[in-house]
Amino acid sequence: MAKPKKTWFAILGLLSWRPMSGYEIKKFVENALSFFWSESYGQVYPTLKALVDAGLAKKLPRDGLGSRRQRYSITERGKRELAKWLSSPSEPPKSRNEFELKFFLNSSRPQKHNLKLVEEYRSQQQELLKDFLESEKLLKIAVRNDALPEELLESMPEIGDSDNQQLTVFYLTLRHGIHAARARIAWCNEVLSFLQS
Amino acid sequence: MAKPKKTWFAILGLLSWRPMSGYEIKKFVENALSFFWSESYGQVYPTLKALVDAGLAKKLPRDGLGSRRQRYSITERGKRELAKWLSSPSEPPKSRNEFELKFFLNSSRPQKHNLKLVEEYRSQQQELLKDFLESEKLLKIAVRNDALPEELLESMPEIGDSDNQQLTVFYLTLRHGIHAARARIAWCNEVLSFLQS
DNA sequence: TCAGACATGTAAGTCGTTACATGATTCA
DNA sequence: TGAATCATGTAACGACTTACATGTCTGA
């Protein structure tokens, strides 16, 4: 393994939670991790194949008769490689934030445009925060009671059989998103009052 | 122009500040915008050529004799296209945050690992915040006095001849970074006390 | 029965980085 | 004079998305 590929470990890491199929992996990332991760089908299926070839994952027999799903599980070697990667330092993210770029480049134009831009951004972030807080409420209950509320299962069926430690990490990761969204909203308010003064 | 290409407008936007060479553009992004944008030489030079071909930018004559720099300036058409793009809504960033992924995937391992991971992340963010605050202090003075402090010019020579409105936007963009870094540090503290309780 | 979700996969293309090639200039 | 930086550029590669192809199953 020359350079560790993030997609490899993202998928391997999900398999370390429990065996999953390509479709499940895609949906899980999309529904539950979208605020800090993304994968496309064009990545997921080839990567699963590559993980098997590298001996880090293996195909599980398709259970039942009508089952169309091809599930994969992590191997012992896979676990070791994953553990190694999880302990390695993360490179600081090279973010490319379109909004910030636009805001920055707008300097030579009337400030009215920037105000509109910031207001749009703020309502985007407020929407996001609302969703986060809803999930947070339910996850908090889940962690406390070690049981998943009906509502949570409806909005995120993929976290179905998670244990308490997984739910806790989920909750804490969500807190990261909440802090970030709040910070962005606070910035918007600051900028709006600055520009209007 | 089928799908608006971000790199095109990033570069065009910088040219709207003032004429620049490829090298200057790269350095500017690297030194001043790195916390929300990045470009590589492999993008910058071909894009400049493409912008000229599309009539959005034009080559300036190399001034003087020994000048090796090839500067480019934005054209009227370029300004119009840029303005259009700047007014268009930004798609929410598809971030892929390696740290958050690791934190999330670490759930099945001893929490000691996560503590270490979070502490590392926190000191990374604290370093970042320190730099931001230093720049902020200098930029604040610059905006107030409409003059660049010596120190600022040393650490960021590329903002050399910016006008007051540009400095203001710069300052406000930096505030975004400060809010974000503080939020991440606050999250770290929250998580550390949660995991240690 | 048929629309919509489930499910797997591939091909082509876009976007971006890295590494390399080349040479001028500056300054210790 | 030779190391570092300035400066422009390209080729090869890698990561990721989009669009497409194909077919199954479920439930109104």
Range with lowest mean pLDDT among A27-36, A66-75, A114-123: A66-75
With respect to CATH, is domain A6-87 assigned 3.40.50.720?
Answer: no
Q: What is the mean pLDDT of chain A?
A: 88
> How far apart are the C-alpha atoms of B107 and A73, rounded to whole Å?
17
Alpha carbon of A165: minimum distance to chain B alpha carbons (Å) = 6
Reference B185, options B136, B132, B98, B118; nearest CA is B118
| Low pLDDT (below 70) residues in chain B | 1-4, 63-67, 110, 152-158, 160-161
- Whether residue B176 and residue A165 make contact (CB cut-off 8 A), yes or no, is no
Nearest to B93 among A98, A113, A176 (CB): A98
Q: At what angle do helices A111-145 and A164-196 cross, to 10 degrees?
A: 160
**pLDDT per residue over A58-114, tens digit each?**
999 876 545 578 999 999 999 999 999 998 888 877 889 999 999 999 987 767 778
The DSSP-derived string for B42-73 is HHHHHHHHHHHHTTSEEEPP--SSS----EEE
Q: Which of A3, A97, A136, A190 to mutate to test the interface with B (most CBs of B within 10 A)?
A: A97
pLDDT grade for A1, boundaries at 50, 70 and 90: very low
Q: Which of A33, A104, A156 to mutate to test the interface with B (most CBs of B within 10 A)?
A: A104
Q: B154 versus A29: which is more confidently predicted?
A: A29
The predicted structure's pLDDT at residue B143: 85
**pLDDT per residue over A124-183, tens digit each?**
999 999 999 999 998 998 888 777 777 766 666 677 667 888 889 999 999 999 999 999
- Say whether residue B108 is in contact with chain A using an 8 A CB cutoff: yes
Task: Considering only CA atoms, give the Rg of chain A.
Answer: 21
> How far apart are the C-alpha atoms of B47 and A112, rounded to whole Å?
30
- Say whether residue B99 is in contact with chain A using an 8 A CB cutoff: yes
- CA B70 to C1' D2 (Å) is 27
- CA B67 to C1' D1 (Å) is 24
How wide is the angle at C-alpha B166 spanned by C-alphas B164 and B168, nearest 5°?
70
